[in-house]
Chain A
């Protein structure tokens, strides 16, 4: 009788460990392939050169690295503040009747496949249909004009920013929810205006969580290719202007991966290695932050 129980238990543990192995095998396999193929292709010149047409040696992925950095930076500049403010709103002002509406819309938007956001930015900014809707060529304020841009870096940044906003908002909300009400009430009781309390007390208490939100969102958009495909269309040169096209690592991986050229495929592996390293470092930073008492 006990033997049977022991048998069943061992069987169950065996099945569970099998499940764990099945879960880990693909990860280890992917990492191994990326590292093996990527390392053999990586070199200093690869990281600093511009791409060359297939068959011409000496091509590199330098501009893709630059592109990813620029796109992520600009997207963060737009996306993080907006996400932060919205997160503050639905957390600190949750009694406001508009708050649940905003929360719902953020949830809806968060579930959006990135490709649909790409379509949206393509239609609105790249093609400028919204301008045609109002029958104008561009919206001008003196000499500064906003109009359709064609495929451009700014369109790509905006699409990444849009993608970023719901991630940041939800994460910020979670972080702010953990601020103990007692502290907030104490500040209010001592006569601090509410806005000041939010900006100083809540934000500084949730400092770690905010950094977490940013890192989470950043590691997500650094690897996104779908919206970029429809908004920047890739480029083979260094960055020139926000109204020109721009390259990016995830896009390059997609295009090079689908191509039949061996040298391009090797570069795709190298770019993947780079991306995974970046994402890895960001996630490790995340983990260290969590460890050091900062939230979660």
Chain B
């Protein structure tokens, strides 16, 4: 009995310590950004002037950049991931499955700096010379296709992020498909469904997991710092073309944090971290809510 108590106290102590640290983190972020919010209030999030000389800071373009890159990443990654996961789980002979699955999971294991290195030294020149320049010469008359092409930018960062979150979404979806009872898949075949119809049925059943996977992918893309910092090109202006450079919240912090030139600048960057923290938190809460609401029926049924 006494041993139990001691053990429990040890566990509680460590866990409480951890919770305190998380609180401390939130508190420090809040405290560090208080000077910025005292001066600018909500304007910090809404304005787009980033002028360290005059002490004016606004991160609207940065927030936009974060969402844009994640949006691009998700648009590119989701269809590919879903189709790939279906392919792997249903259409690949089981001998090959293990190898292919390992390959895909290997993609997830590559450290983000290596993605970044490959990004600046390989992807950027490739996209610039083989895709962006021809694209611009073909569509220069359309709005949004003008501007200088550097190869860096929001689009490139979005593409790199898509590559990085592909394995995440793919492996979660694939696992979900494999966990479905065979009866569903067999029923579809029995009813004479065509392949794509079976796929649709399966996806409907695992809708919840797919949403969870997407939110996880979003979280990963939103918080990615190093790889994005290396290819995004660093600009505080709203993008004026699809080839424009920009910033995301994490890459802004990477590029400017140790190098803030004044206490106010420093506070602005911590505030960016705070905004990042809030959005990441919101993402978790929303994910939890969705899962809660959709499983409500299951729990009610019990």
Direct touching of A and B (C-beta under 8 Å):
yes
Q: A223-B114, A268-B117 are in contact. Are A9 and B194 (CB under 8 A)?
A: yes
A254-B230 contact given A102-B18, A102-B19, A114-B223, CB 8 Å threshold: yes
Contact A26 B163 (CB under 8 A): yes
A102 to B251, CA, bound (A): 30
Contact B15 A27 (CB under 8 A): no
Out of A27, A34, A253, which one reaches B107, CB within 8 Å? A27
How far apart are the CA atoms of A119 and B280 in the complex, in Å?
16
Chain A hits for B109, CB < 8 A: 219, 279-280, 283
Inter-chain CA distance A129–B24, complex, in Å, is 12
Is the pair B103, A16 in contact by a Cβ cutoff of 8 Å? no
B283 — nearest CB in chain A belongs to which residue? Answer: A111
Q: Given A123-B28, A223-B111, decide whether A109 and B15 contact each other with a Cβ distance below 8 A.
A: no
Q: Is the interface of A mostly helix, strand, loop or mixed?
A: helix
**B130 within 8 A of partner (CB):** no
Q: Are B105 and A283 in touch, CB under 8 angstroms?
A: yes
In the bound complex, what is the Cα–Cα distance between A263 and B122 (angstroms)?
Answer: 17
A8 within 8 A of B: yes
Q: Of the candidates A8, A20, A82, A116, which one forms a contact with B87 in the assembled complex, judged by CB atoms under 8 Å apart?
A: A20
On whether the beta carbons of A116 and B25 are closer than 8 Å, the reply is: yes
B113 within 8 A of A: yes
B28 and A115: CB pair below 8 A? no
| B32 in contact with A123 (CB, 8 Å) | yes
Are A23 and B195 neighbours in the complex by a CB distance under 8 Å?
A: no
Asked if B7 contacts A195 (CB within 8 A), the reply is yes
B117 touches A23 (CB 8 A): no
Is there an interface contact between B18 and A105, defined as CB atoms closer than 8 Å?
A: yes
Minimum CB–CB distance for A131 against chain B, Å: 13
CB contact under 8 A between A23 and B113, given known A93-B11, A226-B226, A229-B258: no
Chain A residues with Cβ under 8 A from B18's Cβ? 82, 86, 102, 105-106, 109, 165
User: Please, how many residues of chain B have a CB less than 8 angstroms from a CB on the other chain?
Assistant: 79
The answer to whether the Cβ of B55 comes within 8 Å of any Cβ in the partner chain is no
CB neighbors of B among A185-221 (8 A) = 193-196, 198, 219
> In the bound complex, do residue A194 and residue B280 qualify as a contact, i.e. CB atoms below 8 Å apart?
no
Give chain A residues whose Cβ lies under 8 Å from the Cβ of B172: none
When the two chains form their complex, are residues B7 and A109 in contact, meaning their CB atoms are under 8 A apart? Answer: no
Q: A29, A115, A229 — which one has the most chain B CB atoms within 10 A of its CB?
A: A115
Interface size on A (CB < 8 Å)? Answer: 81
Q: For chain A residues 1-47, which have a beta carbon within 8 Å of chain B?
A: 5, 8-9, 12-13, 15-20, 22-24, 26-27, 29-30, 33-34
| Contact A115:B3 (CB < 8 A) given known A98-B15, A107-B284, A108-B284 | no
Residues of B within 8 A of A107 (CB): 284
Q: In the complex, A106→B80 CA distance in Å? A: 31
Residue among B11, B225, B277 with most chain A CB within 10 A: B11
Count of A-B residue pairs with CB < 8 Å: 239
Q: Which residues of A contact B25 (CB under 8 A)?
A: 112, 116-117, 120
* Alpha-carbon separation in the docked complex, A195 to B224 (Å): 40
Residues in chain B near residue A153, CB distance under 8 A: none
Q: How far, in angstroms, from A208 to B22 measured CA to CA in the complex? A: 29
Across the interface, do B104 and A24 meet the contact criterion of CB distance under 8 Å?
Answer: yes
CA distance A114 to B226 in the complex (A): 10
Assess whether B180 is interfacial by the CB under 8 Å rule.
no
A16 touches B273 (CB 8 A): no
* Interface 0/1 of A73-85, CB less than 8 Å to B: 0000000001001
Indicate with 1 or 0, residue by residue over B74-95, a CB within 8 angstroms of chain A CB atoms. 0000011111101110010000
Supply 5 A–B pairs (Cβ within 8 Å), ascending by A.
A34-B114, A88-B11, A123-B270, A254-B230, A257-B116
- Given A108-B281, A120-B28, 18 other A-B residues pairs in contact with their CB atoms under 8 A: A12-B195, A16-B87, A19-B79, A23-B104, A26-B163, A27-B104, A85-B10, A89-B14, A107-B284, A108-B22, A108-B284, A115-B273, A116-B253, A122-B258, A130-B24, A226-B254, A257-B117, A272-B114
Contact residues of A with B, CB < 8 Å?
5, 8-9, 12-13, 15-20, 22-24, 26-27, 29-30, 33-34, 82, 85-86, 88-90, 93, 96, 98, 101-102, 105-109, 111-117, 119-120, 122-124, 129-130, 162, 165, 193-196, 198, 219, 222-226, 229-230, 233, 250, 253-254, 257-258, 265, 268-269, 272, 275-276, 279-280, 283, 287
Which B residues form the contact surface with A (CB < 8 A)?
A: 1, 3-4, 6-8, 10-12, 14-16, 18-19, 21-22, 24-25, 28-29, 32, 79-84, 86-88, 91, 100, 102-107, 109-118, 120-122, 163, 166-167, 170, 194-196, 199, 219, 222-226, 230, 250, 253-254, 257-258, 270, 273, 276-277, 280-281, 283-284
